[in-house]
Chain A
Amino acid sequence: NAGVTQTPKFQVLKTGQSMTLQCAQDMNHEYMSWYRQDPGMGLRLIHYSVGAGITDQGEVPNGYNVSRSTTEDFPLRLLSAAPSQTSVYFCASSYSVRGVAGELFFGEGSRLTVL
């Protein structure tokens, strides 16, 4: 099983550029989410989805956009990259019961640097 797959693993952007981080899971999980991890800050939730066609904002959504057209995929779009978005991004998925997620399964992460 591949689990949660994230691409790309590394990316360097210039300020103002846009890009999409891809996330795919093969566990038929309803719940998917994006986190960013910064030193001393822990994992902070950006956006999440409890099923295809349903998305919602997390703790730090500004500057990011998501969509969920299929159960398997949950891409994260950076609309106009800023140096403050330099971080490691993790996609995570989970089974859910009535929209309440269980244990999270994480991808390997995508390291983004914005110059």
Chain B
Amino acid sequence: QKEVEQDPGPLSVPEGAIVSLNCTYSNSAFQYFMWYRQYSRKGPELLMYTYSSGNKEDGRFTAQVDKSSKYISLFIRDSQPSDSATYLCAMRVLQYGQNFVFGPGTRLSVLP
């Protein structure tokens, strides 16, 4: 079993839809959770990060962490064609020598 699992998609939605992207993980020691967005042929860029269970909102984006279920989600409201990208979840234990673990990414297409 991989440490971090993520449905690779592709996921296609119409413009304006609410998008839900999810990751599950097996290491209960993970403390720090991030979502990255990666456009085609570009490097990943950080969207959101959180340390705790619960929701964190930033504009049209909401990150949700459920540590008891080992499950994190990213919701995108009012999705736009410019949101078309691959979304990577990442997490880590906050300890020296422990590094980030990335999910394989979900490819999202928002159709106009």
We find that the number of chain B residues with CB closer than 8 angstroms to chain A is 24
Question: Could you tell me if A90 and B44 are in contact, using CB atoms closer than 8 angstroms?
Answer: yes
- Do residues B43 and A43 form an inter-chain contact, with CB atoms below 8 A? no
Q: CB-nearest residue of chain B relative to A111?
A: B41
Known A98-B96, A100-B96; contact A42-B103, beta-carbon cutoff 8 A: yes
Please determine whether B43 and A42 come into contact, CB atoms closer than 8 angstroms: no
* B68: chain A residues within 8 A (beta carbon): none
Q: Mark B81-95, 1 if CB is under 8 A from A, else 0.
A: 000000010100011
Residues on A with C-beta less than 8 A from B34 are 103
- Whether A74 sits at the interface, judged by CB under 8 Å, is no
* Nearest neighbor of A103 in chain B, beta-carbon distance: B46
Of residues 44 through 91 on chain A, the ones whose CB sits less than 8 Å from some CB of chain B are 44-45, 48, 50, 56, 58-59, 90
Option from A33, A43, A44, A56 in Cβ contact (under 8 Å) with B88: A43
Q: Which A residues are in CB contact (< 8 Å) with B88? A: 42-43
CB distance from B45 to the nearest CB of A (A): 7
